[in-house]
Amino acid sequence: MQKSELAQQIKRKKSYLCVGLDTDSSKIPSHLRGEKYPLFEFNRQIIDAVADSCVAFKPNTAFYESLGSKGWENLEKTMEYIPKDFFTIADAKRGDIGNTSTLYAQAFFEQMNFDAITVAPYMGADSVQPFLAYKDKWVILLALTSNAGSADFQQLTDQNNQKLYETVLQKSQQWGNAENMMYVVGATQASHFQQIRQLVPEHFLLVPGYGTQGGDLQAVSKYGLNSAGGLLVNSSRAIIFADQTKDFAKTAGKLAASVAAEMAEYLK
């Protein structure tokens, strides 16, 4: 998907919500656990219920891998099911030497037709570039994550008084541009958004940590939105696991609609 298409979807739906399909097999309603593809069956109902309120879906691969090849099949079926006008993100946080990153790109861009994959920057340019070789596909590079551990290395200050995540934002702009790269910036890091927007004014930011992790949607939106929208704010558990009864999808649909209504205000 191209940037202009994603911007259009956001404008049309008045929402920049991404629903995280962190489909934990131990948390899905018990009546689904006997299904042949329980994670897919859960996802299918969630996708239908939230479709009007979000523009993107983001399965985190860990939840599928933890079930082995069976889990992987559930992920494949989920990707086949998601309509093509949604932006799809493999939250995989991959990154390896060049020839190996090429194979990860094949796995997620060719085998499963994701639009985007999250990539860890630690191994540098040649671990990221193989993903950028794909037309109309996206790298979403970890910059400043939502967890406490983001303080350990991402916020270290170098000899030029620049933090590591700022160097990641700067240096990676030599590898790609706002048409094929986004950055992960946690919603829990709202105080940093203004200055991050100075470094990457045009790029989309994928913002996890809203919802269960306590990020502030209003602050993120105030400093993060740009003319193309420029934000994909993700919510996973707070939407998909709010209700563990047979009504789970209905509840998820209502919660997603309520987030989207708040986003519509910020987009005005």
Interacting residues toward a copy of itself by CB under 8 A: 22, 24, 60, 62-63, 65-73, 76, 91, 93-98, 100-101, 103-104, 106-107, 111-112, 120-128, 142, 145-154, 156-159, 161, 164, 167-168, 171, 213
**Least distance in angstroms from the C-beta of 251 to a copy of itself:** 21
Which among 64, 56, 66 is positioned nearest to 10, based on CA atoms?
A: 56
Question: Do residues 235 and 50 lie in contact, with contact meaning Cβ atoms separated by under 8 Å?
Answer: no
Q: Tokens 């998909």 map to which residue?
A: 240
Q: Within 10 A of 175 (CB to CB), how many other CB atoms are there?
A: 18
Out of 27, 93, 163, 254, pick the active-site residue: 93
Establish whether 171 is a catalytic residue. no
Instruction: Kindly tell me which of 107 and 178 has the beta carbon lying closer to a copy of itself.
Output: 107
DSSP letter at 215 equals B
Question: Do residues 21 and 235 lie in contact, with contact meaning Cβ atoms separated by under 8 Å?
Answer: no
- The span from the CA of 177 to the CA of 126, in Å, is 16
Instruction: Kindly tell me which of 209 and 230 has the beta carbon lying closer to a copy of itself.
Output: 209
Which among 102, 132, 6, 99 is positioned nearest to 57, based on CA atoms?
A: 6
Which positions are annotated as active-site residues? 93
